[in-house]
Structure 1
Amino acid sequence: MDNSLFPLTEEHIRFFDQHGYLIVRSFFSPEDATKLQQWAQEVHDLPRDGDVAWMPYEEVNAQGKSVLCRTENFANSHAGFNDILRGKRILDILQRLGGEEMLLFKEKINYKLAGSGGFAPHIDANAYTHVKNISHLTILAAVDGMTIENGGLEVVDGSHRMEVPLGTDRCIEASWVAAQKWTPCDLTSGDILVFGSYLAHRSGANTSSKDRRAIYATYNRASEGDLHDQYYEDRKKLWPPTHMRADDEVILAALLHDIGQIIPLDQSKEVKMKLDNSTQNVGRVGHETIGAEYLRALGFSDKVCRLVGSHVAAKRYLTAVDRSYHDSLSSASQKSLQFQGGPFRGDELQAFKEDPLRDQMVALRLWDDRAKVEGIEDATPRAMTYLDMMANHLSSGQ
């Protein structure tokens, strides 16, 4: 790989400052671009099981098959990519554009398969606040050619200097999106695109007949510290690779475990729920049972419904076997425990211990406890992320 310094000009730097992005044509030679393609395939083919350092993510395609869509955290495990992404050729151009030394923060390869969808308009500035509020630059290296047809990137010229309104889903508000001129950033293999934290960008679906790959490497200022390993330690806990996650039914139960708190009373009656002492709303009493029955009527599996209905049972079990768990509860939760039957004893305790779903019920309860942390929402995927999983679950008739 050519690791000589790229001849960045003052015109390049002025363009980047004014527009918020910079396309560098033929940053990688044809020979080096071929190596990128080879190495991207090597990362694609890495094992996707066990406690591996790299982080592969899968999605379900239109045919209902699980396919690899992204691999992250591979630089530490692949010498070629490590030399490039932490090499002087890239670091020098970033230092000149950013004004100070930069360090690799995160890296991923997106495998945008033919027919796969795109990414809604967004900025990256609010994506990593669970680690630290960082100022970062991203390099997009085209492994394969990128066009509008195959879901290439589009940007809003100069948007890094604008006030870009974000919705509750952390994407850009639709009215702003519609009012802007979006500039396609077509790239050929070996080109790179450099952009910063506040540039509005999006990508469409890959409507071509061919898959295409792109490397995204994000860098933070060296003055902020080397955050790479910390970022991936946190990400592995918050959004683990597909093969390390709970199964879909457990994930859906975690997503929907409190749905009984927000069901309108008329809908709860429609699914023939028996509500005691409730004339206006369901409140908090029995919300786990209400939620489970509501989901059952919609066609969710018995496992999902049992897990949703286990919230209080898991609490009663944990307080029975772990005094420190009882002490960790809020005063309100300790008080409500008395009305929920108190810690399990005798036959109830034994029955819960022998339940095949015991460990998953307990995990669900503990995940909910850990989610009550200020700022955790910044690192939590939005509900729409789970739409395909939910649709596949309901259509499978599990």
Structure 2
Amino acid sequence: MTSFSLNTNQIKTFDEDGYLVVKGLFSKEETDKLYRTAVENSVMQKNAMDLNDQSGKKTKLSLWFTPGDDVFGYLIRSERMVNSVWQLLAQESPVCHFHTKLMQKEPKVGGAWEWHQDYGYWYKNQFIFPDQLMSVMIALTAANKENGCLQVIKGSHKMGRVNHGFAGEQVGADMEMVNHALKTMELVYCEIEPGDALFFHSNLMHRSEANLSDHPRWSLISCYNSQSNIAYAETSTSWRVPVSVVPDRALLEWDASSFGDADFLKKENDPALKTTGWESEVKTT
């Protein structure tokens, strides 16, 4: 069976708009398995961190650098994910995994994310080329206007890096530049269903509202880097290690009983989190 591949029009859309939605990249059976594991396994909850927005509402997230031999690692390392990222980054060098976040926006209390660019955060890590960094959001539950789906400013990746500072416990973009961008470019609400993938450039301006609905909004956001893109001030090592790709079928074949205590989530086991401090890493990642 041939691995999933993006077509020419999809690649062109990403280059022009700074983002691309691929419907149904993962099946309902796959996303159900991911969501069930995330909700039912206590290790995920124990290693989640609260992050406040400017109003005090909280978003929970779990963060890790090295993808393992588990249901989340198999999604991150799957042929369809890695091949799609490789096509969009348009580099000959291998794809590396920087980090992944499990975003947990609960009903009524899930906080907002302020306007920002991911490279506004990662610039401090001294990655040289923003065009060789990108993120992929996989919806585990439906994301819509009511529960605070991602909003993007279409084409804003062409602005280059905008200055960022703290907004509550988050890093936010210079609002004067954001307002100029909103006058110039289109605001898009990226409403997606479980299993849909949202690929976006590291300089795309994006935000999300608080979840004031009665339904949770959970998603995985995996960040990838071309191996040729050196990060001169990043203490983790995953960003320079080529992803060990697994077949697309691996996710469904994974045995939930093997999840164990999920060592990959424990901050004391990761030198990047151990040296920088878990809280500061979350605030700037």
TM-score higher than 0.5 here?
yes
- The structure that has the greater radius of gyration is 1
- In structure 2, C-alpha distance between the alignment counterparts of 1:118 and 1:11, rounded to whole Å: 32
- In structure 2, C-alpha distance between the alignment counterparts of 1:74 and 1:165, rounded to whole Å: 26
Cα distance change of structure 1 residues 138 and 381 upon mapping to structure 2, 3 Å threshold? closer
Cα distance change of structure 1 residues 140 and 4 upon mapping to structure 2, 3 Å threshold? farther
User: In the alignment, which of 80, 86, 99 is matched to residue 90 of structure 2?
Assistant: 99
Cα distance change of structure 1 residues 48 and 41 upon mapping to structure 2, 3 Å threshold? closer
Provide the aligned C-alpha RMSD in A.
3.2
- In structure 2, C-alpha distance between the alignment counterparts of 1:47 and 1:164, rounded to whole Å: 33
Determine the structure 1 residue equivalent to 2:249. none
- Determine whether 1:207 maps to 2:212: yes
Q: Counterpart of 1:219 in 2: which secondary structure?
A: strand
Q: Which has the higher contact order (CA 8 A, sep 6+)?
A: 2
- Determine whether 1:86 maps to 2:70: no
Aligned residues: 235
Measure how far apart 1:227 and its partner are. Answer: 2.8
Determine the structure 2 residue equivalent to 1:352. none
Structure 1 segments of 4+ aligned residues over 6 angstroms from their partners: none
Determine the structure 2 residue equivalent to 1:56. 48
Q: Given that residues 149 and 207 in structure 1 are in contact (C-alpha distance below 8 angstroms), is that contact kept between their aligned partners in structure 2?
A: yes
- Determine whether 1:195 maps to 2:200: yes
Q: Counterpart of 1:71 in 2: which secondary structure?
A: strand
Q: Given that residues 39 and 81 in structure 1 are in contact (C-alpha distance below 8 angstroms), is that contact kept between their aligned partners in structure 2?
A: no
Encode CA deviations 1:48-84: one digit per residue, 9 max, x unaligned: 66xxxxx4213589xx99x881111186455121122
- In structure 2, C-alpha distance between the alignment counterparts of 1:195 and 1:76, rounded to whole Å: 20
Q: Given that residues 27 and 195 in structure 2 are in contact (C-alpha distance below 8 angstroms), is that contact kept between their aligned partners in structure 1?
A: yes
Matches within 5 A, 1:260-339: none
- In structure 2, C-alpha distance between the alignment counterparts of 1:227 and 1:9, rounded to whole Å: 32
1:105 corresponds to which letter in structure 2? Answer: F
Cα distance change of structure 1 residues 114 and 197 upon mapping to structure 2, 3 Å threshold? same
Q: Given that residues 14 and 20 in structure 2 are in contact (C-alpha distance below 8 angstroms), is that contact kept between their aligned partners in structure 1?
A: yes
Cα distance change of structure 1 residues 68 and 203 upon mapping to structure 2, 3 Å threshold? closer
User: In the alignment, which of 15, 20, 23 is matched to residue 21 of structure 2?
Assistant: 23
Q: Counterpart of 1:14 in 2: which secondary structure?
A: helix
Cα distance change of structure 1 residues 147 and 236 upon mapping to structure 2, 3 Å threshold? farther
Determine the structure 1 residue equivalent to 2:145. 148
Matches within 5 A, 1:1-398: 5-42=3-40, 45-46=42-43, 55-58=47-50, 69-73=60-64, 76-77=67-68, 79-100=70-91, 101-115=94-108, 116-133=110-127, 135-163=132-160, 165-169=162-166, 170-179=171-180, 180=182, 181-224=186-229, 227-228=237-238, 232-240=270-278, 381=283
- In structure 2, C-alpha distance between the alignment counterparts of 1:37 and 1:379, rounded to whole Å: 24
**Unpaired segments of 5 or more residues in structure 1?**
50-54, 242-377, 383-398
Q: What TM-score, normalized to structure 2? A: 0.72
- In structure 2, C-alpha distance between the alignment counterparts of 1:74 and 1:90, rounded to whole Å: 16
Q: What TM-score, normalized to structure 1? A: 0.53
Structure with greater proportional strand content: 2
Report the identity percentage. 25
Measure how far apart 1:172 and its partner are. Answer: 2.0
- In structure 2, C-alpha distance between the alignment counterparts of 1:117 and 1:172, rounded to whole Å: 17
Measure how far apart 1:240 and its partner are. Answer: 1.6
Q: Given that residues 4 and 79 in structure 2 are in contact (C-alpha distance below 8 angstroms), is that contact kept between their aligned partners in structure 1?
A: no
Q: Counterpart of 1:223 in 2: which secondary structure?
A: coil
- In structure 2, C-alpha distance between the alignment counterparts of 1:380 and 1:79, rounded to whole Å: 22
